[in-house]
């Protein structure tokens, strides 16, 4: 398996303007480099008050550029050279003053100068604001942010929470891992822009009594990867998750459920409001007819307790049978132990869905990699072994290519 890292071959100019959040930029350099990027750090004079160029140089492995008068550049045009090499310029932290400079097109320091000098059509500018909540909320800042966006800058965050000044509110710079994921998403093709995707993921848990239940080994990783990939592709994503301990992908709305019936009740009213439904969840087929209110105890007879099982609703089949005007374009998953394609094709027909994605259950549950076979009316397409996120991105591409909007 050799999926290249997400920022493989990307050259990022990381600009730091002055702010306490500069301490997060040290971690950000490491995150970007771990994701495969080359990072060239550029700092304003104010930024050097908060973190030293020595630290940033040691972490990035490149000399930090501080001044437009840096005579080491043979042509003495650092602003041109830096912005021509970059796949993106990320300014993190972007202070209120720096955003004001960008909004006005000022160029009195190297960092603002190179942002102004960048070729607009091929060197995007991403700003990660970081400032006190009153500074962020100030009409002048909001005006400057709107102007910077109108001129093509992309604004990441800011987040909300505790601030260095002791106040709480909007204006925190996003964390290093969040900024890394925003940058990774930025480079993904927007194949589902304007679409909405509803996804089920993970196992369900069917209570036998207050402490025991029936469940399975589904980790939820594939469904969460599909949710992330769909969000990266520009879709509005709702993720209905069974009991799993996985972080929610950025920009995904998550609804936690436990049982198959709760999953059904979360999905059904939402399905008509989504364009695409991807059922990755390993829903328990049966549940105890009635869950005991008290823990079942051994009675000393040596005989286990008997309890009746009843069938759970089939969420995917129910959504696939909705009237055409309410029915999203449905994708089912088939986790099989053998005869994958035959079972997947049988499922395609039985559930009445346009696409079934087959995988070998024992080979995928809990693992980070997988192999998928796409089965539809046209035939079979194999997505070879790769990490689940890489496969999820491939799957999103295949879904986008096949998706047909429902009749208006």
Q: Could you say whether residue 320 binds ligand C5P (CB under 6 A)?
A: no
Residues in contact with 153: Cβ distance below 8 Å, sequence separation at least 6, in sequence order: 102, 125, 126, 127
d(CA 176, CA 320): 41
User: Which sign, positive or negative, has the C-alpha torsion 185, 188, 190, 191?
Assistant: negative
Q: How far is the CB of 51 from ligand C5P (least distance, A)?
A: 48
- Candidates 113, 283, 340, 391: give the one binding ligand C5P (CB under 6 A): 283
Question: What x/- string results for residues 232 through 261 when contact with ligand C5P is judged by CB under 6 A?
Answer: ----------------------------x-
Q: Could you say whether residue 83 binds ligand C5P (CB under 6 A)?
A: no
- Candidates 180, 236, 347, 393: give the one binding ligand C5P (CB under 6 A): 347
Q: Could you say whether residue 348 binds ligand C5P (CB under 6 A)?
A: no
Torsion, Cα of 375, 379, 385, 390 (10° steps): -70
Piece of the chain touching ligand C5P by CB under 6 A; list 79-87, 191-199, 232-240, 331-339: 331-339
d(CA 138, CA 153): 19
Q: How far is the CB of 283 from ligand C5P (least distance, A)?
A: 3
Q: How far is the CB of 237 from ligand C5P (least distance, A)?
A: 16
Q: Could you say whether residue 316 binds ligand C5P (CB under 6 A)?
A: yes
- Annotation says 165 is catalytic: yes
- Candidates 156, 279, 344, 390: give the one binding ligand C5P (CB under 6 A): 279
Let me know: does 281 contact 242? Beta carbons within 8 Å: yes
Q: Which is nearer to ligand C5P, 168 or 337 (CB)?
A: 337
- Candidates 205, 224, 333, 403: give the one binding ligand C5P (CB under 6 A): 333
d(CA 15, CA 179): 13
Size of site (CB under 6 A) for ligand C5P: 14
Q: How far is the CB of 274 from ligand C5P (least distance, A)?
A: 15
Q: Could you say whether residue 33 binds ligand C5P (CB under 6 A)?
A: no
Q: How far is the CB of 328 from ligand C5P (least distance, A)?
A: 13
Whole-angstrom CA distances from 171 to 78, 94, 150 are 31, 11, 20
218 burial class (0-12, 13-18, 19+ CB within 10 angstroms)? Answer: buried
Half-sphere exposure of 376 (CA within 13 A, CB side): 17
Q: Could you say whether residue 314 binds ligand C5P (CB under 6 A)?
A: yes
Q: Could you say whether residue 365 binds ligand C5P (CB under 6 A)?
A: no
Q: Which is nearer to ligand C5P, 233 or 315 (CB)?
A: 315
**DSSP-assigned beta bridge partners for residue 116:** none
Phi-psi region of 79 (alpha: psi -120 to 50; beta: other; left: phi over 0): alpha
* Catalytic entry in 22, 115, 123, 165: 165
- 3-state DSSP of 251-318: CEEEEECCCHHHHHHHHCCCHHHCCEEEECCECCCEEECCCCCCCCCCCCCCCCCCCCEEECCCHHHH
Please report, as residue ranges, which positions from 154 to 213 form the binding site for ligand C5P (by CB under 6 A): 200
d(CA 154, CA 171): 16
Q: Could you say whether residue 315 binds ligand C5P (CB under 6 A)?
A: yes
Let me know: does 172 contact 21? Beta carbons within 8 Å: yes
Q: Could you say whether residue 266 binds ligand C5P (CB under 6 A)?
A: no
Q: Under the rule (CB under 6 A), what is the footprint of ligand C5P?
A: 200, 260, 279-281, 283, 312, 314-316, 332-334, 347
Supply the residues annotated as catalytic: 165
């Amino acid at each position: 398996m050799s999926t290249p890292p997400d920022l493989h071959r990307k050259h990022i100019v990381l600009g730091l303007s002055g702010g306490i959040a500069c301490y997060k930029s040290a971690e950000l350099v490491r995150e970007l480099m771990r994701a495969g990027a080359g990072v060239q750090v550029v700092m304003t004079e104010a930024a050097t008050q908060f973190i030293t160029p020595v630290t940033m140089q040691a972490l990035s492995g490149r000399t930090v550029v501080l001044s437009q008068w840096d005579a080491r550049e043979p042509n003495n045009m650092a602003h041109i050279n830096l912005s021509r090499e970059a796949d993106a310029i990320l300014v993190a932290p972007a202070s209120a003053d720096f955003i004001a400079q960008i909004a006005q097109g000022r160029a009195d320091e190297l960092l603002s100068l190179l942002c102004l000098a960048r070729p607009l059509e091929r060197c995007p500018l991403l700003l990660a604001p970081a400032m006190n909540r009153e500074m962020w909320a100030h009409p002048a800042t909001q005006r400057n942010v709107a102007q910077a966006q109108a001129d093509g800058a992309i604004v990441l965050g800011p987040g909300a929470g505790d601030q260095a000044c002791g106040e709480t509110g909007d204006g925190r710079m996003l964390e290093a891992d969040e900024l890394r994921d925003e940058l990774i998403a930025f480079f993904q093709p927007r194949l589902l822009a304007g679409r909405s995707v509803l996804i089920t993921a993970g196992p369900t848990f069917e209570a036998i009594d207050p402490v025991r239940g029936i469940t399975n080994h589904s980790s939820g990783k594939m469904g969460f990867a599909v949710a992330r990939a769909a969000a990266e592709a520009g879709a509005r994503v709702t993720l209905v998750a069974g009991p799993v301990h996985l972080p929610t992908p950025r920009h995904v709305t998550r609804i936690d459920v436990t049982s198959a019936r709760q999953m059904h009740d979360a999905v059904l009213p939402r399905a008509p409001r989504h364009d695409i439904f991807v059922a990755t969840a390993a829903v328990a087929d049966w549940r105890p007819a009635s869950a005991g209110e008290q823990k079942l105890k051994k009675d000393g007879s040596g005989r286990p307790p008997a309890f009746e099982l009843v069938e759970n609703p089939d969420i995917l089949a129910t959504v696939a049978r909705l009237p055409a005007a309410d029915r999203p374009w449905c994708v089912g998953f088939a986790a099989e132990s053998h005869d994958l394609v035959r079972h997947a094709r049988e499922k395609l027909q039985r559930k009445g869905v346009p696409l079934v994605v087959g995988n070998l259950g024992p080979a995928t549950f809990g693992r980070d990699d997988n192999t998928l076979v796409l089965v539809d009316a046209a035939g079979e397409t194999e997505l070879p072994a790769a990490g689940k996120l890489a496969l999820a991105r491939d799957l999103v591409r295949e879904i986008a290519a096949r998706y047909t909007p429902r009749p208006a």
